[in-house]
Structure 1
Amino acid sequence: MTLSSDSPPDHDTRPRAGTSAYRRTVVALVAAAVATFAQLWSLQPILPAISQGFDASASQAALSISLATGGLAGFTLVWSGVADRLGRARVIAVSLLAATALGCLTPFAGELWLLLGLRALQGAALGGVPAAAVAYLAEEVHPSDAPRATGLYIAGNPLGGMGGRLLAGFATDLGGWQWGIAANTLLGLAALAVFALVLPCGPHRRGATAGPGPATAHGAPATGNGTFTGPAAPGMGARLRAALATRGLPALYAQALLLMGAFMTVYNLLGFRLTAPPFGLSQAAASLLFLSYTAGMLGSAVAGNAVARWGGYAVLTTSTVLMAAGLGGLFGTALPGLLAALLVMTFAFFSAHATASAWVGARAVAGRAQAMAVYTLAYYLGSSLFGWLGGLVYDTVGWDGAVVFALGLCAGAALAGLRLRRLPRVEAGPRRSGPPEGPATGRGTGE
């Protein structure tokens, strides 16, 4: 068979889709995602039980989520630097091992302050996985198949988050909040074992490159493992400044901050709403409403095609308006109506999140990894700060006030999004001139 001049020989030896090494890599990274987000979000549906167990308010109990996500956000950049030195697979393993060890201690916390401290440390430990996983796939999987592998990894994020919430809810009904945490720690331990046993030990994990990498915007080539070389290679400070100063990126970070804040306000307080009158559901029954995360998976998948057809600004704006409409339906007192509104809100949020994060990947030329890290930081800062503030609003004026607070955050995101109107459309796929870190990386923070 003769190759045409348009199709040069492919000397890249990294795993392709359909090979055993590719399947093992994907399974291992999905297991890491499940372990991470099951443990990170396991306390969310059982906040009423924690509140009752420690005689704490809703906002105090919600700190167990806010401090964990805040710890993850604060250490993402730290872990990304460590991964550059020690290797991404090693960092993922160390991250999961440390988080699972802290999870083993958490059920024995006899005071709220101790529980909150352990959760903050656990969140910081878990930050190693999102800091390294997508970059690992971009480096270790053939560029043609890396977006597909990344999409499968990202599907593990909401899968782990939803599964962890359901497991915690049912285990808490059986034996208290301690059982809910312990059940997810065991899940995390099993997933860590899968990651360690299944991940192939290929040459790329030992730092080999697959040949010359893409040229950067500064003219310096990048190696196959994402390391910049040459005299024009930008330093960390320059890449971080580019991530903060590139036109449009601050407005996209604002989407992560504000929309995640609105989303987390609802889900942090959902258990309190459903276990109180007029619903009066059990802890296990209330946790079933977290199945609405399946709508989020659909929203993430639909967003990519929608952006390719109508552009990023149109999809982001429509998603924000749809999310506000879903929030408006949460004022009702009929369970079917509440569930329908929750599905709409969740679908819209993940659609907006997938669009905004993909846009970050497409806009960031210099410092793309740093731009994604800043986006992740904003995302989890929104979860930590506004999730806690939403709890304070709930303690003061109740559920309806918290929903109004979330609507205000959506309005803020829409106003910040006006700065995106004149930006170029988001690309439908990863750029051919660089590693597959565009739209494929965009959903790496969705859980």
Structure 2
Amino acid sequence: MHWTYGSPVSSVGSMDSAHTDDDRPRAGTSAYRRTVVAMVAVAVATFAQLWSVQPVLPELAEDLGESAARVSLTVSAATGALAGFALVWSGLGDRFGRTRVIAVSLAVATLVGCAAPFAGDLWLLVALRAVQGAALGGVPAAAVAHLSEVLHPADAARAIGVYIAGNPLGGMGGRLVSGWAAAAGGWQWGVAASTAVGVLAWLVFVCALPRRTRGAPRSGAGGVGGRSRWRAALATPGMAALYAQALLLMGAFMTVYNLLGFRLTGEPFGLSQAVASSLFVAYTAGMAGSAWSGRGAGRWGPYRVLAVSVAVMGAAAAVLAVPWLPVVAVGLVVFTFVFFCAHATASAWAARRAGEGRAQASSVYTLAYYVGASVLGWAGGLFYDRWGWGAALVFAGFLCASALVAGLGLRPGKEVLPGAGVSLTGTGSGAGERGGGRPPKVV
């Protein structure tokens, strides 16, 4: 028997009694597959557009005569606005239905994305990117909660991992398309090409989503009042530590990826825009890391996966200082893989730990994640402008070390999840595997 995020997965007959009468789609069914495909598509649409300017930042700086820190505001404005509007979109999702919120937010963001290539100066582009980011906030604010609500609890965590794997897929695809198009026709063509990817992915979402998983949340999702849900999201032990992972690790990740193009197109590498953009293929490692995280957490426990991933991420950041391209490429792959391992683990853990406050927990996690992207990612640009690439990597390493310290409160053996009946070390009252052996780990 295999335990995933606290839910036994083997056969219907061995499911926890609380889940035996649940008629929500299971893994392997058509409704489950279509739901996952639809949500991966919205992840692609979101992150292709959110990161569309990142690979063209060096060209933007040269074209507009601005510094690395100032042009990185085109990224920070979008991520910061996304963070600020995540809670707004979460409330709208509770009222009108999460899939409606996702569809509307993507449509608005795509329309704004069509206008961005025509921006004539930096500050107009920053303003348009802020509006686009605010619109895109509807997806991460609603997607994880939607999957948790409409899919069977035994398989929801697996679907969340696949959805999060769609984040690097969209991020990689958007960056590659943008970088290659910019090399051919300028940064404007790069942004336009990423918007086209978003349009296609949005159409996949609309066509693939099953009717039974559209619209408002299940009636059971609103069983407790809004105040109780927020209390669960904010006051449940360990939630602050999980939100800190989102803030700090995304800050380190964005510091590296915002400045990578400047590093690769400058000395000692001197790569062209197209070749430098090709290193964003490292995002395929992020897809693998996200998809693997659920299996790893089920086998070794979420704390071990999270802590090891963060430690390796800090070490990989140090490797990126080596002035030899093959070493940088390998370091970037490792850095990306473990970041998405940590992110997928922390995100799914937060949704489960908050219980009935999962939607609010997802919103707060999203807020912390994109505050890290906007504020700490921009701060990394200041280090780069003042002291260079090495200083930016030191800053990223410091953020990883801070995340490790913050995560100490998540160590196993300290708490019991409310209503779970199983301790984090697996030594609580929950039943173990059939015929004895180790009891399940709770995420």
Q: Is the 8 A contact 2:54 2:258 kept in 1?
A: yes
User: Given residue 418 of structure 1, which amino acid in structure 2 is its aligned partner?
Assistant: L
Determine if contact 2:229/2:356 at 8 Å carries over to the other structure.
Answer: yes
CA distance 1:61–1:427, shift in 2 (3 Å): farther
**Is it true that 1:397 corresponds to 2:377 in the alignment?**
no
| Equivalent of residue 268 in structure 2, options 278, 284, 295 | 278
1:308–1:427: 8 Å Cα contact kept in structure 2? Answer: no
Structure-2 change in CA distance of 1:248 and 1:13 (3 Å): closer
Task: Return closer, same or farther for 1:97/1:269 CA change in 2, 3 Å cut-off.
Answer: same
Q: Give the residue type in structure 1 aligned to 2:391.
A: G
In the alignment, the residues of structure 2 paired with residue 277 and residue 377 of structure 1 have an alpha-carbon distance, to the nearest angstrom, of: 36
Q: 1:250–1:111: structure 2 CA closer, same or farther, 3 Å change rule?
A: same
Report the equivalent of 1:89.
99
Q: Find the counterpart in structure 1 of residue 361 from structure 2.
A: 371
**Residues 351/427 of structure 1: CA separation in 2 closer, same or farther (3 Å cut):** farther
- Which of 116, 120, 124 matches 1:114? 124
> How far does residue 207 in structure 1 lie from its aligned partner after superposition?
4.6
Q: Which of 132, 139, 155 in structure 1 is aligned with 2:165?
A: 155
Q: Percent identity?
A: 61
The Cα of 1:109 is off from its aligned counterpart by 0.3
Aligned residues: CA RMSD: 2.6
TM (norm. structure 1) is: 0.84
Does the 8 Å contact 1:362/1:427 carry over to 2? no
Secondary structure of the residue aligned to 1:110 is coil
- Distance, in Å, in 2 between the alignment partners of 1:365 and 1:56 is 46
Higher mean alpha-carbon deviation, 67-76 vs 4-13, is at 4-13
**Residue 222 of structure 2 aligns with which residue?**
227
Provide Cα deviations, 1:11-34, integer angstroms capped at 9, x if missing partner.
655444444444333322222111
1:192 equivalent in alignment to 2:202 = yes
How far apart, in 1, do the equivalents of 2:357 and 2:137 lie?
19
Change (3 A) 1:144 1:418: closer
Please tell me the residue identity of whatever aligns with 2:176. Answer: L
* Cα distance in 2 between the residues matched to 1:369 and 1:394: 37
* Amino acid across the alignment from 1:205: R
TM-score, normalised to structure 2, is 0.85
Structure 2 match to 1:348: 338
Equivalent position of 1:205 in the other structure: 214
Say if 2:161 and 2:290, in contact at 8 Å, map to a contact too: no
Contact 1:362 1:426 (8 Å CA) reproduced:
no
- Report the secondary structure of 2:211's partner residue: coil
CA distance in 1, matches of 2:346, 2:17: 33
Tell me how far 1:7 sits from its aligned partner: 7.4
- Say if 2:335 is the partner of 1:335: no
Change (3 A) 1:336 1:56: same
Report deviation, 1:321: 1.7
Identify the residue that residue 244 of structure 2 maps to in structure 1: 254
* 1:344-367 deviation per Cα after TM superposition (whole angstroms, max 9, x unaligned): 222222222223223323432352
Which one-letter code corresponds to 1:227 in the other structure? G
Alignment match, 1:315 = 305
> Is contact 2:99-2:215 (8 Å) kept?
no
**Contact map agreement 1:252 1:360 (CA 8 A) in 2:** yes
Whether the 8 Å contact between 2:286 and 2:337 is mirrored in structure 1 is yes
Within the alignment, does 1:133 sit opposite 2:143 as a pair? yes
Gaps of 5+ in 2: 1-12, 416-422, 431-442
- Matched-pair contact (CA < 8 Å) for 2:316–2:335: yes
- The answer to whether the Cα contact below 8 Å between 1:70 and 1:381 also exists between their aligned partners in 2 is yes
Change (3 A) 1:298 1:427: farther
Query: Structure 1 residues 198, 427: closer, same or farther in 2, change over 3 A?
Result: farther
Partner of residue 171, structure 1: 181
Aligned match of 1:359: 349
SS in 2 for 1:42: coil
Letter in 2 for 1:175: G
Asked if residue 380 in structure 1 is aligned to residue 370 in structure 2, the reply is yes
Cα deviation for residue 426 of structure 1 reads 5.5
Counterpart residue type for residue 327 of structure 1: A
The count of residues paired between Structure 1 and Structure 2 equals 408
Structure 1, unpaired ranges of 5+: 210-222, 433-441, 443-447
Find the counterpart in structure 1 of residue 50 from structure 2: 40
1:113-158 Cα offsets, whole Å, 9 max, x none, are 0000000110110011112222323333344443443333222211
Contact 1:76–1:128 (8 Å) recurs in 2:
yes
In 2, the alpha carbon distance for the partners of 1:313 and 1:272 equals: 35
Give distance in 1, aligned partners of 2:297 and 2:338. Answer: 14
Name the CA distance, whole Å, in 2 between partners of 1:64 and 1:312: 34
- In the alignment, structure 1 residue 299 sits paired with structure 2 residue 294: no
**Structure 1 residues 52 and 367, CA, compared in 2 at 3 Å: closer, same or farther?**
same
Query: CA separation of 1:106/1:9 partners in 2, compared to 1, >3 Å: closer, same or farther?
Result: closer
Contact 1:248 1:423 survives alignment (8 Å): no
Which residue of the partner structure matches residue 437 of structure 1?
none
Secondary structure, counterpart of 2:222 in structure 1: coil
